[in-house]
Structure 1
Amino acid sequence: MDCIFCKIIAKEIPCKILGETSSSISFLDAFPLAKGHVLVIPKNHHQKIQDMSNDENADLFSLVHKMISKVDSITGATLVAVHNGKEAGQEVPHVHVHLVPRSSDDSASAIHSMFDGALKLPESEINELYEKLKI
């Protein structure tokens, strides 16, 4: 498999490991968007979160939870981002959670700035989505 994250896990590519569990690993992003940009990934290769087992998911987000306090200590605010699939902007097809320190003077903005604007949906379509998505 030609996955850069799998190569990092296999220690074929060096990185600055920050934390590790039996199923997950966190490290400094090699191409940081801000000082202290961290990635947290599962050790098993999965493209999307829903492909992971419940145990892997719990382990991954437990490590995310631990790392957020560390990252947050840099600026006081942390963007937590997951691109779940190629169409969502995922560049490496391996689940990864970005922890990016944010500040009021950085060049980023709110999630809504990524899109042209909010959708104006008819109530019938909202109800259809509601029925499709509720658990």
Structure 2
Amino acid sequence: MGGCVFCGIVAGDVPAFRVADTPEGVAFLDTRPVFKGHLLVVPRAHLVTLADLPAGELPGYFGLVQRLAVAVEAGLGAGGTFVAMNNKVSQSVPHLHTHVVPRTKGDGLRGFFWPRTRYADDTEAGAYAERVAAALA
């Protein structure tokens, strides 16, 4: 879909630190992560909300989200994950996406007020993406 940054990432036209690229979807680092290693998982097709995802694609898409949640814990040594999705309200990019955020006890995340951080540089971002991708196997 023209103008959709996530469609551009799926197509390979927009650079991103990819963690997974499967028929079910693409996962990449959020450029403004809540915590380092925060992923966005998107379906390959341009869909805006969860209601737009065909029922037959739910198992594959959420299977990928589940595998990535496990990989974030294993690859980053996280104590757990926060998995979330906005539909329309607070959806900064109108393309269905699921957040997979690494969590640790005492990390300061409270409710829905998400502090944001930045990667020091592309090298650090790439290292986080590689660690999660390696644990995805």
TM-score by length of 2: 0.74
Q: Residue 79 of structure 1 is aligned with which of 69, 79, 82?
A: 82
Q: Distance in 2 between matches of 1:37 and 1:96?
A: 12
How far residue 31 of structure 1 moved from its aligned partner, in angstroms, is 1.7
Give the paired residue count. Answer: 111
Aligned residue number for residue 95 of structure 1: 96
Post-superposition shift, 1:107? 3.0
Report what 1:39 is aligned to. 40
Equivalent runs, 1:1-135 vs 2, <5 Å: 1-73=2-74, 74=76, 75-85=78-88, 87=89, 89-111=90-112
Q: 2-side partners of 1:57 and 1:92: how far apart?
A: 20
Amino acid at match of 1:17: R
The answer (yes or no) to whether the contact 1:42–1:56 under 8 Å persists in 2 is no
Higher RCO (C-alpha under 8 Å, 6+ residues apart): 2
Contact in 2 for aligned 1:9/1:43 (Cα 8 Å): yes
Q: Deviations over 1:30-85 (max 9, x none)?
A: 22111111111101011101111123222210100110111123321100010011
Structure 1 residue runs of 4+, over 6 Å off?
A: none
Query: In the alignment, residue 42 of structure 2 is paired with which amino acid?
Result: I
